[in-house]
């Protein structure tokens, strides 16, 4: 392959990677920066930059990771979910996929940088929101072991790789009859609990149990 063909092939590769970057960036906007690196031109490696979160520019040089790939074709092709950070200190979850040519040489890379700082703050908030403090008092808002009944329904549904409300008629009948055989329908308000969890009427539950 002559130099002209090689250049044209690289340009085509980069243009296709740019379309992939565009799609990923649109899907995860505004939290994920997507970068296409041209590793054949390390001094001006950034060929495409979508959802710019790092403040870099197209034409900026390759990162240390990019240089490592250029120097070593045995460098890992996929590095996923490694910790990183932007220059302003925001925490980042990064993934990098190296692209090789027919000779096994790295010629490009597609990199994703997810700003997780907001999610970390949200995680702290959610942890606080769902935390409880034992008081020694015994109280329940779910009388009659209804939680156990719902857990049995969830377990059955999960065994079929579906959700309670997505069970088909045949599987729903099998579930209800199994619950009846195991005595779970003797639990107080069991029919109402099962109906609510399956998204059907109590009449349907009674019918399925026959």
The CA distances from residue 181 to 97, 176, 178, 209, in Å, are: 53, 9, 5, 9
This prediction's pTM: 0.64
The residues, any chain, with a CB within 8 Å of residue 149's CB and separated by 6 or more, are 179, 184, 187, 190, 193, 194, 197
Domain that holds residue 74: 9-118
**Residue 137: its pLDDT value, please?**
57
Please check whether residues 105 and 151 belong to one and the same domain: no
Q: Indicate the residue among 118, 138, 172 that finishes a domain.
A: 118
Judge contact between 50 and 145, C-beta under 8 A. no
pLDDT in tens, the chain (210 residues): 566 768 888 999 999 999 999 999 999 999 999 999 999 999 999 999 999 999 999 999 999 999 999 999 899 999 999 999 998 889 999 999 999 999 999 999 999 999 998 888 888 888 888 887 776 655 555 555 778 888 889 999 999 999 999 999 999 999 999 999 988 888 778 888 899 999 999 999 999 998
For residue 130, being part of any structural domain is answered with no
For residue 68, being part of any structural domain is answered with yes
Count of domains forming the chain: 2
Please check whether residues 68 and 108 belong to one and the same domain: yes
CA distance 158 to 141: 25
- Per DSSP, what are the bridge partners of residue 32? 114
Please check whether residues 158 and 89 belong to one and the same domain: no
């Amino acid at each position: 392959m002559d130099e002209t063909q090689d250049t044209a092939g690289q340009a085509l590769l980069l243009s296709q990677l740019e379309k992939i970057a565009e799609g990923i960036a649109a899907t995860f906007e505004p939290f994920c920066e997507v970068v296409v690196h041209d590793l054949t031109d390390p001094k001006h490696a950034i060929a495409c930059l979508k959802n710019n979160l790092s403040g870099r520019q197209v034409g900026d040089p390759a990162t240390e990771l990019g240089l490592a790939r250029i120097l070593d074709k045995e460098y890992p092709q996929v590095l996923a979910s490694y910790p990183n950070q932007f220059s302003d200190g925001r925490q980042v979850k990064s993934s990098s996929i190296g692209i090789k040519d027919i000779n096994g040489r790295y010629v490009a890379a597609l990199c994703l940088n997810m700003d997780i700082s907001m999610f970390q703050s949200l995680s702290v908030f959610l942890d606080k929101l769902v935390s409880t403090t034992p008081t020694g008092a015994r109280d329940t808002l779910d009388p009659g072991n209804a939680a156990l009944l719902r857990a049995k329904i969830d377990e059955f549904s999960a065994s079929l790789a579906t959700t309670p409300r997505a069970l088909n008629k045949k599987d729903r009948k099998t579930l209800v009859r199994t619950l009846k055989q195991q005595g779970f329908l003797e639990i107080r308000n069991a029919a109402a609990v099962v109906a609510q969890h399956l998204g059907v009427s109590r009449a349907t539950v009674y019918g399925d149990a026959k």
